[in-house]
Amino acid sequence: MKSLSTAPMLTTKRLVLRGPDRSDLPAFTRFMTSAPSMEAQGEIVTAEQAWFGFLTGIGHWHWHGFGFFTVVEQQTGDPVGRVGLIKHSNWPDAELAWHLFEGAEGKGYATEAAMAVKTWAREELRLDRLYSYIDRDNTRSQAVARRLGAITDGTRAPHEPEAEVWVHSMDSH
């Protein structure tokens, strides 16, 4: 298993967050092409589009020095999702984002992994603010954002009109 990025390895009580590697592509493709959570948001893509998205994620690490971590359950070694920082060329700021694979929802993994990424962003990258752009109907992601200490005033993201802007406090807890 060879990392395709410059990502550090982060660990939490139950999870390992590491950079993407080739073995992550099948789970990522399955998620992007068929996950109920992606379907509910109208974001299902083709396998080819998923491949391009996977490569974009790798490039993100090389361009920005941050990106999505693959989140692996320590006990089983199974990938359970992706959590990390993204900033596309037309976005105003870095986003803290999370995507859990089917079957991994409802276990607190998104909150646990995102808290580790937020701490890393504050302590290592010295970022003083992060945002999450969350679809106004995505109550599960909104709940994660609240647990992370983020707040929203309902303002919409300019690059994604259906998404509300959630602002994360970068204070240490």
Q: In degrees to the nearest 10, what's the CA dihedral of 153, 146, 93, 22?
A: -150
Range of the domain at 38: 10-168
Q: How far apart are CA 18 and CA 113, in angstroms?
A: 11
**Looking at residue 164, which CATH number applies to its domain?**
3.40.630.30
Residue 3 lies in a domain: no
Q: Which amino acid is at 76?
A: T
In a domain, 48, yes or no: yes
125 found inside a domain: yes
Q: Kindly report, residue by residue over 42-62, the tens digit of the pLDDT.
A: 777 888 988 988 889 899 999
Q: Is residue 1 part of a domain?
A: no
Residue 5 lies in a domain: no
Give the total number of structural domains in the chain: 1
**In the predicted model, is pLDDT for residue 173 greater than 90?**
no
Residue 1 pLDDT > 70, yes or no? no
Instruction: Determine, yes or no, domain membership for 64.
Output: yes
pTM: 0.90
Three-point CA angle 44, 50, 52, nearest 5°: 135
What local confidence, expressed as pLDDT, does residue 74 receive?
95
* Predicted local confidence at residue 160, as pLDDT: 83
